[in-house]
Amino acid sequence: MVAQILLTVLAASILLSVVVAFVLIRLLHWTLLPAAAVGLGTPLALHALFLLLGFVLAFWIGRRARLPGDAQVEDHGGLLKAWFIECGVAWRTFLFAQPLFGGRALPSGANPRRTPVLLIHGHLCNRAVWHPFAHWLAARGHPVSSVNLEPIFAPLERHTERVQGELRRLLRHTGAEKAIVVGHSMGGIVARATLRDYGYDQVAHLLTLGSPHKGTWFAWFGHQANVRQMRPGSRFLRDLETHEATHGLPPTTIALSLHDNIVTPQAEQVLPGARVIAWRGYGHVDLVYRVSIFERVMASCETTREGRPLEVSRTADARA
């Protein structure tokens, strides 16, 4: 369903480009090439301005929030750099990858010593957002699986049965006893809800990327059931916290960006007992594309099936 919605958005963007170019040619007597260039650039520029507004608002809302004292922080740039790169990442994700490849299976490794990994995407996304991370994991031998969370506006608890079913299928297929569960944005909240409903005996490590564990203020602008559940102080989030206070969580790593343009206040998105790694200079969607993030977060949870830690090589920062 996400792919169909994004294909409609893509068609509307193309139509806007054609209309703008037509107006410039017929009314202002521009030549074809300049008119076409401005026409193609118009929807991209509008989206870039919309993203910039989101970055500024998110930064302003979260400016007073503070990370826990034991959080690890890496500096990779400022807000403008994060915005510039996020523009390209968002165009790639929402106008190309997800509309065209959302139904394609992810690559998977086959090293019997590597822990399998289940990937859970965020709001208004599908599994295509995980292709770079899945390629990185598969190249290291990790068996990989994922789910598409549909219906896309359904309450978050509607997805837990599907996630648990895919986790069980992954473990049966690989013969492993436990898997690493990774959630981006809303996917991290769905992962926590799944652990609440089914326990975490089959989860070796929970890893979340840019997830609104304490809710995001931007959720006040949406009225769908799952968006309302991600508002700060929502009953759904309070119930998760109450359950986890009694039953705990598996080993957990929270990765977040202090320049996140969707989840704000950014520094508040932590959970008791979780390891926290924060970056500056990355946008919300960019978190699932950065090789430096893949290496850092997996280093905190990669183990052999015997439970021994695996060495993860470090390379220069790059996007997959």
Per-residue pLDDT of the chain (320 residues; tens, 9 = 90+): 777 888 888 889 999 999 999 999 999 999 999 999 999 999 999 999 999 999 999 999 999 999 999 999 999 999 999 999 999 999 989 888 888 777 778 889 888 889 999 999 999 999 999 999 999 999 999 999 999 999 999 999 999 999 999 999 999 999 999 999 999 999 999 999 999 999 999 999 999 999 999 999 999 999 999 999 999 999 999 999 999 999 999 999 999 999 999 999 999 999 999 999 999 999 999 999 999 999 999 987 865 444 444 444 334 455 55
The closest alpha carbon to 251, from 181, 312, 306, 190, belongs to 181
- Whose structure tokens read 């958005």? 9
Tell me if the domain spanning 1-320 has CATH number 3.40.50.1820: yes
Q: What is the pTM of this model?
A: 0.91
- The amino acid present at 278, given as its one-letter code, is A
289 and 319 Cβ atoms separated by less than 8 Å: yes
The closest alpha carbon to 209, from 189, 183, 230, belongs to 183
- Whose structure tokens read 């309070």? 238
Q: Which sequence spans correspond to the domains of the chain?
A: 1-320
Question: b/e map of 187-206 (b: 16 or more CB within 10 Å)?
Answer: bbbbbbbbbbebebebbbbb
The closest alpha carbon to 187, from 167, 166, 221, 160, belongs to 160
